[in-house]
Amino acid sequence: MHAHSSSTLVIERLLENGTIQEEMLEGPVMRRSCSFYVAGVVYVFSCKKFYVLDLDTVGAVARQLDVPVPTDSLNQ
């Protein structure tokens, strides 16, 4: 299962092309390896910054771009 890595790439691509503005993201800037976690909120580690996205934002963006969301992880 590589859903976590593909989801991270999707979010990073959205950041790069401006679909998600950095002001929409909350959380401290941290250096981490790229990862993707879901636990009430979505933690997206670009390789240089750490972002926290609320699920509504992620879901809205995913629906807008017709990107599959790992619902099995979201429905905990």
pLDDT of residue 62: 58
In the predicted model, what is the mean pLDDT of the chain?
51
Tens-digit pLDDT profile for residues 11-47: 666 666 655 555 555 444 333 334 444 444 454 544 4
Q: Would strands 41-45 and 35-38 be described as parallel, antiparallel, or unpaired?
A: antiparallel
Tokens 């905990």: give the residue. Answer: 76
Rounded CA-CA distance 30/33 in Å is 10
DSSP secondary structure code for residue 18 in this structure: T
DSSP secondary structure code for residue 60 in this structure: H
pLDDT of residue 21: 53
pLDDT of residue 61: 60
* Global pTM exceeds 0.95: no
Average pLDDT over residues 43-56: 51
Rounded CA-CA distance 10/15 in Å is 9
> Per-domain residue ranges for the chain?
3-74
